[in-house]
Amino acid sequence: MWLYYTLLIIGLLIAWMVIDFKLGRSRFIRTRTRRNYENRYSDITLISRGADLFEKMFTDIKNAESSIHILFYIVQNDHLGNRFMDLLKDKAKEGVKVRLLMDQIGSLHVSKSKVHMLRSVGVEIAYCQRIKFPFPFFSSQQRNHRKITVIDGTYGYLGGYNVGKEYIDEHEKPELSPWRDYHLKIEGEGVPDLQTEFCIDWHRATGEDLTNDQLYFPPARKGSLEHRIFPTEGVNIEQFFGEFIEEAKDSIIIGTPYFIPTNYLMDKLLDALDRGVKLTIIVPNQADHPLVKEAAFPYFRPLLAKGAFVYQFMNGFYHGKVIVIDDHSCDIGTANFDQRSFFLNLELNNLIYDKHFIEIVRKEIDEDIKNSDRLNARDLESVSLFTRCKEKVASAITILL
């Protein structure tokens, strides 16, 4: 009898989670705001090492004169996180307006004492994407995955790195180090769009509207690279990536830590291969979460059968999020090529239309490929029964991986 009741309770719990998730996402889609920014011209620097990123970012924070607005998915309670927060404390003491927005679950390890200390010296701190009723399960799954830094309304940062020692190649698991990722420093017309995105997320978390305060939106100079900031919130990105893929005439490069496309995007990739486009995919060999590696295998098999090149990065952990179409367009940001980014998370990408910048990106990608092993169809034909079982389980929960 106890087994019957146990199974009944488990069944009811699963049913509640499914209903909670579907209703919660439906309400969010109805109430979300869709934003389309125009093409801008900025000067953009690609940063592919965590140590270089934080050296540049921390220098800009130290030199801030009026405001510092920062949103991160993850801030760790370690020596890099403490150094980061100490910088914010020092700038607040100088009279700079400092606001720090963190994802509630991603930054769960930031101590209450640290938050209290920062607030006591004037740093404004808020948490976004809190778990809340009436849909606690859905709200626990939908994360703000954006990483935005805007300093004095003039310098902006966007990309894949969070704040923690693992992002400067000090991961506790040696197999996940060094950490390979991409981040962008932006100066020019695109910075006000980054600032707007921060202000929107800040308003959602606090109710405070900063979008009309000119202190945070100084005149922006025109830079040299054409680009566009592209925010997504549980929709839009699947269709956009599909249109992006359709444009390809010669080559498509996708770098992602998690390759879990939708049927729609798989059809677009297979169509591209059929019309002679070279498809290259880079993923990590070592996974940082259970099942995500096996989740990709059912998608790799038909792509490999049509001639796609799949590379597994061997030199640490590959966390880059990049798509390059031919030599004319490139996407770098926070969205992974997976269903969580497509249908759940709040993401922020940057589309760049500059051949010289794309040449720089492709040189970085060439280095990634040199540090990778090529996966072939035979490798996936001979996987173990245990791996096949993990593939099946992953396929059942792809949106949650």
pLDDT in tens, 146-178: 999 999 999 999 999 999 999 999 988 888 999
Judged against a pLDDT cut of 90, whether residue 197 lies above it is answered with: yes
- Asked whether 148 and 349 are in contact (CB, 8 A), the reply is no
Q: Where are the domains of the chain?
A: 1-31, 36-230, 232-400
Which residues are CB-neighbours of 61 under 8 A, at least 6 positions away?
68, 87, 88, 91, 151
Question: Mind telling me the catalytic residues?
Answer: 145, 147, 152, 319, 321, 326
Give me the pLDDT at residue 46, please: 97
Q: Which of 231, 258, 264 is nearest to 245 (CA)?
A: 264
For 279-331, the pLDDT digits (tens) are 999 999 998 888 888 899 999 999 999 999 999 999 999 999 999 999 899 99
Residue type, 267: D
Give me the pLDDT at residue 45, please: 97
pTM, 2 dp: 0.94
Instruction: Summarize the confidence of residues 83-101 as an average pLDDT.
Output: 96
Q: Which fold has domain 232-400?
A: Endonuclease; Chain A (3.30.870)
Q: Which fold has domain 36-230?
A: Endonuclease; Chain A (3.30.870)
CB count within 10 Å of CB 47 equals: 20
For 124-140, the pLDDT digits (tens) are 999 998 888 898 888 88
CA distances from 29 to 26, 242, 262, 272 (A): 5, 20, 18, 30
Judged against a pLDDT cut of 80, whether residue 4 lies above it is answered with: no
Give me the pLDDT at residue 65, please: 96
- Give the whole-angstrom CA distance, residue 364 versus residue 361: 5
CA distances from 51 to 57, 82, 167 (A): 10, 15, 8
- Give the whole-angstrom CA distance, residue 3 versus residue 231: 47
Sign of CA dihedral 9, 14, 19, 20: positive
For 259-280, the pLDDT digits (tens) are 999 999 999 999 999 999 999 9
- Asked whether 61 and 154 are in contact (CB, 8 A), the reply is no
CA distances from 80 to 58, 272, 315 (A): 11, 43, 22
- Asked whether 256 and 283 are in contact (CB, 8 A), the reply is yes
Judged against a pLDDT cut of 90, whether residue 400 lies above it is answered with: no
Give me the pLDDT at residue 290, please: 86
Average pLDDT of the chain to the nearest whole number? 92
